[in-house]
Amino acid sequence: MRVGNGCGVGELIRRAWQSGLAVPGFNIPYLPMMEPVVRALRDTGSAGLVMVARLEWIKFEAGSLAAVRDEYRRVGDRRHTRLHLDHVPAIDEDGLEVDYAGVISEALALGYDSVMVDGSRLPLEENIAATRRVVELARAAGVPVEAELGAVLGHEGGPLPPYEELFASRRGFTDPGEAARFVAETGVDWLSVAIGNIHGAISAARRDRQKAEARLDLEHLAKLRQAAGVPLVLHGGTGVPGDYLRRAVGAGITKINVGTAIRQPYEALKDTSPQAALEAVYQAVVHTIRNELGTEGSARLLLK
């Protein structure tokens, strides 16, 4: 049984997709960050996802799937939020195999509203097989599934090439033909794509560095929208100028993940001024909603 009542997250994303609106997802690497994220969504009248990725309880301080679920039960507001399991990789950022089906099964049992399997480091055939396996698990629980095709870089341990080199080479960009096949053979509900977006660094040595300003190939995105025929997801929303983000929504992106923009202000203050750290998260979410995405007031349309 899912946490709470009301419109399911699958319906939320479907409505946003059909209406040309964005649904932001905010990652929670530290449990205290959840309350100001929820408060900011409520105060702006916005719909959004509260999210945790596997790396956020492995390499940060989210605790566990259960700890995040319990905190969501304490502070989550179902008029504005749903709980999403973000990246569960088949192969993690350190090149290690992950029991992705076991992690996702645990999340389903705990009542997460939606889940993501990330087989993007696998060959195409194996990514399809892994995603199809998770879709079968989640369908039995009535839960939508997100997957990734292509390579949204940034979480790897070593340094990335300069951003302009990455963009010019189209390294990791999602292939439209593969996207059409992937959706058809997996039955996935939403697809995370690579169109120039990158993740913020997570290694201890680099996680506090300013993220490169990324661009998006909107012509490539239009091809992916046509090929996939399902809502598309943009990971690595931090660092992408608001104009690009809004144009991307018009070209097929429905869900936008935000992590670095709220994590770095929190980390900068959490040890010296915990209250100021929480306020920084709140202000960062409000800024993202009002100035970057323009989603203020979306809850009354998407979660009615």
Query: Are the beta carbons of 91 and 98 closer than 8 angstroms?
Result: yes
Q: Give catalytic status of residue 77 as yes or no.
A: no
Residue range 242-263, pLDDT digits in tens: 888 888 998 999 999 999 899 9
Give the β-pairing of 114-118 and 81-89: parallel
**CA distances, 100 to each of 49, 88, 96, 137, 145 (Å):** 21, 6, 11, 11, 13
| 113-141 burial code (b ≥16 CB/10 A, e <16) | bbbbbbbbbbeeeebbebbbbbbebbeeb
Instruction: Give the range among 162-166, 247-251, 295-299 with minimum mean pLDDT.
Output: 162-166
pLDDT value at position 217? 86
Ordered domains of the chain (ranges, CATH): 9-302 (3.20.20.70)
Look at residue 202 and tell me whether its pLDDT is greater than 50.
no
Bigger pLDDT: 266 vs 243? 266
Distance CA 9, CA 231 (A): 13
Instruction: Give the range among 100-114, 218-232, 239-253, 272-286 with minimum mean pLDDT.
Output: 239-253
Average confidence (pLDDT) over 159-174 = 67
Distance CA 101, CA 283 (A): 36
Distance CA 282, CA 230 (A): 31
SS3 call for 49? strand
Bigger pLDDT: 173 vs 139? 139
What stretches of the chain show up as alpha helix (H) in DSSP? 9-19, 34-43, 54-58, 65-75, 100-110, 124-141, 163-169, 176-186, 218-228, 242-250, 260-269, 274-287, 299-302
Look at residue 144 and tell me whether its pLDDT is greater than 90.
yes
Query: Which pTM value belongs to this model?
Result: 0.90
Look at residue 154 and tell me whether its pLDDT is greater than 60.
no
SS3 call for 116? strand
Look at residue 209 and tell me whether its pLDDT is greater than 70.
no
| 54-63 burial code (b ≥16 CB/10 A, e <16) | bbbbebbebb
Residue range 11-31, pLDDT digits in tens: 999 999 999 999 999 999 999
DSSP letter, residue 61: B
pLDDT value at position 163? 61
Residues 43, 70, 77, 86: which is the catalytic one? 86
Look at residue 206 and tell me whether its pLDDT is greater than 60.
no
